[in-house]
Amino acid sequence: MFTLLIATRNRHKVGEIQSILGDLHRYMTLADFPGAPEVVEDRNTFAGNAVKKAQELSRWLAAGQDRPEGRLLVLADDSGLEVDALNGAPGVYSARYAALESGGEGNSPDSENNARLLRELADIPTEHRTARFRCVIAAADAVDLEAETPTFDGACEGRIEFEPAGEGGFGYDPLFVPDGFEQSFAELGEETKNRLSHRARALEKLKPWLEARLG
């Protein structure tokens, strides 16, 4: 059995990750480690940020007193939205898209990020509003710090609507309609999203890698 430290405080992501990886593993999250350092996501690729976060946290765990016993991996994901008409923006800046414009610090509320995205796309017609969510998950070994840190990626293609719809999910979900559907991720509900999403697709690659190592 692995203990998997899911390096996020986003409860939507924790639920999605656990439901896909199943009950072969023991799960912990950053909520179990209140003293964990805040890792600055300053790389210009999703993979760069995911690897940085997974490795910094595994080094922190290995140096401390309360590292759980046994085989321990830190799973860190970095994800975001790429909009073709904006040359791939907001990309790695998805969480702080509105703040980048206003000069504010840190991440922005989802409603402000969505409002900026709609403003940027105001003159773009439906056929050019293509976009995708992308996710990269890095798995760092918190016992053998010399082990390689593999990455697993996934994407979900779709388009950006003209106004938000739906109450579910988080982030850009109310604006994103996945290919083959007419409703946003926020309307489609967790079960459907968890089948289609960028994170689901990355997790479907991570799952056999983990299981092959369970022996």
Q: Is 79 in the site for ligand IMP (CB under 6 A)?
A: yes
Among 56, 78, 141, 153, which residue interacts with ligand IMP (rule: CB under 6 A)? 78
Eight-state DSSP code of residue 167: S
Cβ proximity to ligand IMP, 117 vs 210, nearer residue: 117
Residues identified as active-site:
78
Shortest distance, position 95 Cβ to ligand IMP, whole Å: 3
Q: Is 174 in the site for ligand IMP (CB under 6 A)?
A: no
Q: Which stretch binds ligand IMP (CB under 6 A): 31-39, 65-73, 163-171, 206-214?
A: 163-171
Q: Which stretch binds ligand IMP (CB under 6 A): 26-34, 138-146, 169-177, 203-211?
A: 169-177
Round to whole Å and give the CA distance between 178 and 185.
7
Q: Is 56 in the site for ligand IMP (CB under 6 A)?
A: no
Site string for ligand IMP, 93-122 (x = CB under 6 A): -xx-----------------x---------
Q: Is 172 in the site for ligand IMP (CB under 6 A)?
A: yes
Query: Do the beta carbons of residue 132 and residue 156 sit within 8 Å?
Result: yes
Q: Is 154 in the site for ligand IMP (CB under 6 A)?
A: no
Q: Is 173 in the site for ligand IMP (CB under 6 A)?
A: yes
38-47 long-range CB contacts below 8 Å, 24 or more apart? 39/7, 39/76, 41/78, 41/92, 43/92, 44/92, 45/92, 45/136, 46/78, 46/79, 46/80, 46/92, 46/134, 46/135, 46/136, 46/153, 47/78, 47/136, 47/138, 47/151, 47/153
3-state helix, strand and coil shares in percent for the chain, rounded to the nearest 5: 40, 20, 35
Q: Which stretch binds ligand IMP (CB under 6 A): 22-30, 120-128, 141-149, 165-173?
A: 165-173
DSSP-derived 3-state class of residue 75: strand
**Residue numbers at the binding site for ligand IMP (CB under 6 A):** 10, 77-81, 94-95, 113, 133, 169-173, 197
